[in-house]
Structure 1
């Protein structure tokens, strides 16, 4: 039975799990991401792999990571401020030599979308856009395959809608970090996003107003995606997607205001796999290879 190790590298945590040939994820763990000095993250990943291989025989390693990835080289070619000193990190060449195993490396939003198309809310769908709302905002588009753009920089939607007056872009206004900032300014640092959603559902006008104002910002960016790409489906991912239909209703209510009349045809859906989406997507190439070799 073939087993693979899937690793998802974020700015706050590195999550990892094993997946077997029945496509079952198990053995989930996470560790805090170290400050990336002297290739600290690459060394963390190396330590994780070595630890897993002490008790499990694995056939390959899939890595999902923040930053823009050259998929062929398995290397980070661009990274924002979330992870410093990350550009040039050569996961594939270093780890494949170190452990003698095949290694696939993918951007985390791309991996999440692949996971959802393979095993989640967009199973067997095509022309699907995924937007993840988290510390920042990421985007990915699947049309028979992931569409990267010529320089691998397509769908960097967090940088949309820059406002020179406020010096803010889309992710500065519509990420969950932006929502948290609004909450802390109005209600205090001890109030969480989950608290605000709970209170809004119970009729709290202040909390409802906060969610509506933030949902409007989210909807502005979704409208740009629809106008430019016309996807069949947009998936909304990230931790806040656990708010499910309540979140979706607020965003859908705001969206028509930013589109021409009768223009909205795209199906807006909540992602299903949550934190497992990128773990599935990171190892999908191994299953794709198995299928194509049959």
Structure 2
């Protein structure tokens, strides 16, 4: 019997996103279950196995028709599908792929969620048609995923693509969540943009739309679009940090395209313009041709990538 279907699972700190796909990448159905992190996350994998097996039964599928299950998790994952620890899931060491195979009787492949999302964007999103991409996720933190010739770059310790922790400045007051100081994440994430804006508002008393209202990444870029000079300076600072860092990344990964996703990317084309300006200035000549695109799959990138990783 031909393999026709594949499951893509994206395990997050609060919910587990699940998708049933055809092997060609058509999403047939998606649903969510809560992530039960109590008791060191002991229920998470049995819950996932349970929801997959129920879906197979509900749809009347034969196990022979199913290629397997791809799973993305918020933490490092080695080539064997083992997770040394995942803070957000309250996990210590978990043999994710091995345990899931025992529970479901299906083939399982596991990967880091940011890397997996990058694979999804390469397959059916902002990087479609390319084989080498760097995905940058600008959310509460800064995540990254590197795909080279269609394969995820995990590295020796599963930290390949952790671009949020490239050191970019000594000019910040506090430490990053990782314990280091001056990481890219501290100045280009949603929280980082808020930090840069508040710092600039304190520095001088020029009028700005940002004064007296809520300051966050969205209000900063809304103000930029409205021509606010102070907000534009914040955007320049953001663009310089990120554009310069990606120029360095390009020297190592040399992607065809940088795909920018996460909540901050909802500001649209304008953020690409600020990043590209500094990227073009600092990139090695051979890498200057790399293009920039906005991510297209949103919250579904993880389930798409998980399915693709298994295929």
TM-score category by the smaller chain?
Answer: 0.7 to 0.9
Task: Verify: 1:61 aligned to 2:85, yes or no.
Answer: no
The equivalent of 1:291 in structure 2 is none
Unpaired runs of 5+ residues, structure 1, are 289-294
Query: CA deviation digits over 1:248-269, x for unaligned, max 9?
Result: 1121123344446897332222
Task: Verify: 1:140 aligned to 2:142, yes or no.
Answer: no
- 1:91-106 equivalences under 5 Å are 91-106=96-111
Displacement, 1:177?
A: 2.8
SS in 2 for 1:69: coil
* Aligned residues: CA RMSD: 3.1
| Contact residue 78 and residue 157 of structure 2 kept, 8 A | no
Q: 1:29 to 1:153 in 2, by over 3 A?
A: same
The equivalent of 1:171 in structure 2 is 185
Q: Distance in 2 between matches of 1:261 and 1:23?
A: 36
The equivalent of 1:198 in structure 2 is 222
Q: 1:19 to 1:269 in 2, by over 3 A?
A: same
Displacement, 1:209?
A: 3.1
SS in 1 for 2:130: coil
Counterpart among 123, 126, 135 of residue 131 in structure 2: 126
The equivalent of 1:292 in structure 2 is none
The equivalent of 1:75 in structure 2 is 82
Equivalent pairs counted in the alignment come to: 284
SS in 2 for 1:248: helix
Q: Distance in 1 between matches of 2:47 and 2:111?
A: 18
Q: Distance in 2 between matches of 1:260 and 1:54?
A: 54
- 1:19-98 equivalences under 5 Å are 19-31=21-33, 33-35=35-37, 37-40=39-42, 41-46=44-49, 48-49=51-52, 52-53=55-56, 55-56=58-59, 57=61, 59=66, 60-72=68-80, 74-77=81-84, 79=86, 83=88, 85-98=90-103
Displacement, 1:152?
A: 3.2
Displacement, 1:31?
A: 5.0
Q: 1:222 to 1:63 in 2, by over 3 A?
A: same
SS in 1 for 2:268: helix
Q: Distance in 1 between matches of 2:223 and 2:33?
A: 32
Larger radius of gyration: 2
Displacement, 1:190?
A: 4.3
SS in 2 for 1:55: helix
| Contact residue 242 and residue 274 of structure 1 kept, 8 A | no
Unpaired runs of 5+ residues, structure 2, are 173-180, 202-209
Q: Distance in 1 between matches of 2:190 and 2:263?
A: 9
Counterpart among 98, 109, 131 of residue 114 in structure 2: 109
